[in-house]
Amino acid sequence: MEVIKCPLCSEIMDKQEYDFWKCPVCGCEVWPEEEETEQEKAKAIQEVYLEDVKIPLKKKSGGARSGRKYKKKKVPPEPWYRKYLFE
């Protein structure tokens, strides 16, 4: 039987049901390494990178009015007599 020490607290870890080790003190889990070739790892990393930096193919049209269907309503100026009214 393998004896594995916890990487955090250096206590001896217990082997669990699903082929991993768990520390009884701090609860740290150690799982066995997956069997993957270097080419598969590089390909997976490249796929994730390409998804992250994907550039949209459709060119966006610029301008402030590009998304509006109708003209924007202008706010009318305040009437000249408003300053003479008592409120």
Tens-binned pLDDT, residue by residue, of the chain (87 aa): 678 888 888 888 888 888 888 898 888 888 887 776 778 888 888 888 887 776 666 655 656 555 666 677 788 888 888 878 776
CA angle 45, 35, 49 (to 5 degrees): 5
d(CA 31, CA 81): 79
User: What residue spans define the domains of the chain?
Assistant: 14-51
